Amino acid sequence: MTVIEQQLSDEWSRRRFLGAVGGVAALAGLAQVPLAKGALASPAPPSGNYPFSLGVASGDPAADGFVLWTRLAPEPFAPRGGGMPSQPVAVDYQVATDEAMTHVVRRGIAPALPQLAHSVHVEPTGLLPDREYWYQFRYGDHVSPVGRTKTTPALGAKVSRLSFAFASCQSWSSGYYSAYRHLAAEDLDLVVHLGDYVYEGGIPADGGYRKTPVPLQLRPNCRGLDRWRLQYALYKSDPDLQRAHARFPWIVTWDDHEVQNDYASETSQYEGDISQLRANAYQAYYEHQPLRVSAIPRPQEMRLYRRLHYGDLVQFDVLDGRQYRSVPPCGWGEAPACAAAYHPSVTMLGQRQEDWLLDGLATSSARWNVLANNVMMGRLDHDGPTGDILWHDAWDGFPAARTRITDHFVDAEVRNPVIITGDWHSTFVNDIKRNFDLPRSPVVATEFVGTSISSNGDDIVYGPYYGPMIKFNPHIQFFDGDRRGYVRCTVSDSQWRTDLRMVETVSRPNSPGYTFASFVVEDGVPGAQRI
Instruction: Identify the pLDDT of residue 39.
Output: 58
Among residues 410, 409, 526, 413, which one has the least CA distance to residue 477?
A: 526
Pairing of strands 161-167, 190-193: parallel
Confidence band (pLDDT; 50, 70, 90) for 9? very low
- Taking phi first (over 0 means left), then psi (-120 to 50 degrees means alpha), and beta for anything else, what does residue 350 get? left
451-479, pLDDT tens digit by residue?
Answer: 999 999 999 999 999 999 999 999 999 99
- For residue 246, the surrounding DSSP H or E stretch is helix 239-247
Q: In a 10 Å sphere around its CB, with 0-12 CB exposed, 13-18 middle and 19+ buried, how is residue 76 labelled?
A: buried
Instruction: Identify the pLDDT of residue 447.
Output: 98
If one compares 306 and 19, the residue with the highest pLDDT of the two is 306
Q: Over range 418-427, report the average pLDDT.
A: 98
Q: Which are the contacts of 276, defined by CB distance < 8 A and separation ≥ 6? A: none
Q: pTM of the full predicted structure? A: 0.94
Cα(392)–Cα(347) distance, integer angstroms: 12
Cα(102)–Cα(31) distance, integer angstroms: 27
Query: Rounded mean pLDDT of the chain?
Result: 93
Q: Which are the contacts of 117, defined by CB distance < 8 A and separation ≥ 6? A: 71, 73, 81, 82, 229, 284, 287, 288
Cα(376)–Cα(446) distance, integer angstroms: 12
Q: CATH topology for 154-199+299-530?
A: Purple Acid Phosphatase; chain A, domain 2 (3.60.21)
Predicted confidence (pLDDT) at residue 17 exceeds the cutoff of 70: no
Instruction: Identify the pLDDT of residue 46.
Output: 73
476-521, pLDDT tens digit by residue?
Answer: 999 999 999 999 999 999 999 999 999 999 999 999 999 999 999 9
> What b/e readout covers 285-320, taking b as 16+ CB neighbours within 10 angstroms?
bbbbbbbbeebbbeeeebbbbbebbbbbbbbbbbbb
Domain ranges within the chain, ordered by starting residue: 154-199+299-530
Predicted confidence (pLDDT) at residue 118 exceeds the cutoff of 80: yes
Euclidean distance between the first and the last CA atom of the chain, given in angstroms as a whole number: 46
64-116, pLDDT tens digit by residue?
Answer: 999 999 999 999 999 888 999 999 999 999 999 999 999 999 999 999 999 99
Count CB-CB contacts under 10 A for residue 527: 18
Q: Which are the contacts of 205, defined by CB distance < 8 A and separation ≥ 6? A: 213, 214, 219
Letter for the amino acid at 384? G
Cα(202)–Cα(61) distance, integer angstroms: 33
36-73, pLDDT tens digit by residue?
Answer: 555 576 777 777 899 999 999 999 999 999 999 999 99
